[in-house]
């Protein structure tokens, strides 16, 4: 098991609980989409798994080497080239200069940016910047990859292309991925499983396995997305009351 969460809770100061009794397990090489309404604690949970926040209650198990993190904003260093941004992750791991140059080239090729290594972020489209950010995250060489709405700011066509790329890279690398989104169709498109967090305090209230037919058939995907959307709306209405 790569990630195990047991009765996990989080509150900040004397404020109300953001997360409460979160229980989930994620296996090696699994792709899990974490879904919920805005403000339900998805990002906080990801930060706890990454070790950026400590839980207030409960326990968790994560890989000993931690996790790589990819944010909604590509957050590239503007004075570095695409290759330089990827190399930085390798340098921080102590990889030697010659090796990291070759490895950065391999990672850029993996995300289909092998011809853009010398371009700076302002010369790249939004989708290309996110590809560089993904290559940089992969350069951290962690088995667990956490992704916090990385495609939310992109247009629909670019997002769809990156969905295909991410699925390909996941299959090629065997990474374990936890992908946070508030987009139901995106969750069904990418995840092997979809976990739904309730509105605050966030806890896992529903879970769906995404069958193979939902990956291959648009009608099956739409039907599952509709079912999940109905459940999500129930949570939003409950929170509103």
DSSP string covering 22-80:
EEEEE-TT-EEEEE--TTSSHHHHHHHHHTSS--SEEEEE--TT-EEEE-SS----TTS
3-class SS of residue 161: helix
Contacts for 50 with CB less than 8 Å, ≥ 6 apart = 66, 67, 69, 146
CA–CA distance from 129 to each of 37, 145, 146, 210, 239 (Å)?
26, 18, 17, 29, 36
pLDDT (tens digit per residue) in 113-164: 988 989 999 999 999 999 999 999 999 989 999 999 999 888 888 889 899 9
Q: Which of residues 215 and 23 earns the better pLDDT score? A: 23
Spell out the domains of the chain, with CATH numbers in brackets: 3-66+144-240 (3.40.50.300), 76-141 (no CATH)
Report the C-alpha gap between 215 and 211 in whole angstroms: 7
Q: Facing residues of 144 across strands?
A: 67, 176
pLDDT (tens digit per residue) in 54-83: 999 999 999 988 899 998 888 899 999 999
């Amino acid at each position: 098991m790569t990630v195990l969460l047991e009765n996990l809770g989080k509150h900040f100061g004397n404020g109300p609980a953001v997360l409460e009794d979160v229980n989930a397990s994620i296996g090696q090489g699994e792709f899990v989409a974490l879904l919920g309404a805005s403000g339900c604690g998805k990002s906080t949970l990801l930060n706890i798994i990454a070790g950026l926040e400590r839980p207030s209650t409960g326990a968790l198990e994560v890989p000993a080497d931690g996790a790589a993190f990819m944010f909604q904003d590509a957050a590239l260093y503007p004075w570095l080239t695409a290759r330089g941004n990827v190399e930085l992750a390798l340098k921080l791991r102590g990889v030697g200069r010659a090796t990291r140059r070759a490895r950065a080239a391999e990672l850029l090729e993996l995300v289909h940016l092998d011809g853009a290594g010398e371009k700076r972020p302002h010369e790249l489209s939004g989708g290309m910047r996110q590809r560089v950010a993904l290559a940089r995250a992969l350069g951290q060489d962690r088995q667990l990859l956490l992704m916090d709405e990385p495609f939310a700011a992109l247009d629909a066509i670019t997002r769809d292309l990156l969905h295909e790329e991410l699925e390909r890279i996941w299959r090629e690398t065997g990474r374990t991925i936890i992908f946070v989104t508030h987009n139901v169709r995106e969750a069904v498109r990418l995840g092997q499983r979809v976990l739904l967090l309730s509105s605050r305090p966030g806890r896992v209230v529903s879970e769906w396995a995404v069958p193979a037919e939902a990956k291959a058939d648009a009608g099956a995907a739409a039907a599952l997305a509709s079912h999940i959307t109905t459940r999500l709306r129930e949570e939003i209405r409950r929170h509103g009351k």
